[in-house]
Amino acid sequence: MIEKINNLLLEIENVEAANKQQVEELRIKWLSKKGEVSTLFDDFKNVPNEQKKEVGQKLNELKNKAQDKVNTLKEKFEFEAEASANQQIDLTLPVLPLFQNGSKHPLTLVKNQIIEIFSRIGFTVSEGREIEDDWHNFTALNTPENHPARDMQDTFYVNLNPEMVLRTQTSSAQVHIMERQQPPIRTISPGRVYRNEAISARAHCQFHQVEGLYIDEDVSFADLKQTLLYFAKEMFGNETKIRLRPSYFPFTEPSAEMDISCSICKGNGCNVCKHTGWVEILGCGMVDPQVLINCGIEEKKYRGFAFGMGIERITMLKYQVKDLRLFFENDVRFLKQFVNA
């Protein structure tokens, strides 16, 4: 057996290959299950005991030499292939940039703009918890257990615990503010909210809101209207008009929904505004006195207004995006459009 091993070692040392296919043939010849090296290992059991040590060392040397030879030949042809490919590079082509400028997400751009607009008139930012208890998400906002208004929002409960939910509105952050701070209060609460809805071009199970709250003495509906008119003009242009339509929200009374004149067709009617010339962007109203009582604020002394808007809705109008799902897919082709926004 020693003689067979020495002959195979000599063959391995002197062998050459003309291409990668021949290298693979050598690997199969030597190292496959039925290859020459494997066969010698199978015959090792027949070696006399006094020769096992010497033969075993020789077999290991043979196997390592065969593997090293195959690896060396592979690397040779891979290097030659790479060198050949490099020779085919057209050096006259323009250089591709190593780095591409990123950008903020369009939702972040619009959120920051909303915050900046309201900060000019004294609103501060209060961010709450995304996992909220039932009191702050529902009951304190005038929607007690079994209240029909809860049917307006399909809620995600945490571990099927009826007391803990993924917040359905950022108004819960405002409840925390009212509980620990006496008026005057002037704050907006941006953040992500969750509702168990089917995902489509116009709806998603997660989205972003900015809700505002102003509580002080002698606050009127006229103050609410002027605040929202100021916001609409700053966000969509000085020619923007607004209109308020009666609505219902459990934590405001009276309540309204606000439309703006369509910025795409300038009020003449198009697919976006469904040919009405108006687009709904937010809900609002005067804070229900019971909400003030729930939060420990003297309802006979103070009044307030609240409003809430979806950031996705504002962004879709501002940038004329027709499918809400694009905001969550992280498609670079979509996002890079906002590099200079």
Among 135-139, 299-303, 332-336, the range with the most confident prediction by mean pLDDT is 299-303
Per-residue pLDDT at 149: 60
Q: What pairs with residue 191 in β-bridges? A: 209
Distance, CA of 272 to CA of 265 (rounded, Å)? 9
Is pLDDT above 80 for 135? yes
DSSP 3-state of 166: strand
Is pLDDT above 90 for 95? no
Q: What pairs with residue 216 in β-bridges? A: 303
Distance, CA of 259 to CA of 269 (rounded, Å)? 14
DSSP 3-state of 119: helix
Is pLDDT above 70 for 150? no
- Tell me the CATH number of domain 106-338, given options 3.40.1350.10, 3.90.1010.10, 3.40.50.300, 3.30.930.10: 3.30.930.10
C-alpha dist (Å) from residue 82 to 73, 79, 167, 179, 257: 14, 5, 56, 69, 65
Per-residue pLDDT at 248: 92
Q: What is the mean pLDDT of residues 277-290?
A: 94
CA terminus-to-terminus distance, the chain: 77
Q: What is the mean pLDDT of residues 226-231?
A: 97
Q: What is the mean pLDDT of residues 260-285?
A: 83
pLDDT tens digits for range 192-228: 999 888 888 778 889 999 999 999 999 999 999 999 9
Residue pair 58/5 in contact by the 8 Å Cβ criterion: yes
Residue extents of the structural domains in the chain: 2-87, 106-338
Chain center to CA of 179: 32
Closest C-alpha among 143, 139, 132 to residue 165:
132
Per the model's pLDDT, the better-predicted residue between 48 and 111 turns out to be 111
pLDDT bracket for residue 274 (50, 70, 90): confident
Q: What is the mean pLDDT of residues 220-245?
A: 95
Residue pair 255/152 in contact by the 8 Å Cβ criterion: no
Distance, CA of 295 to CA of 64 (rounded, Å)? 79
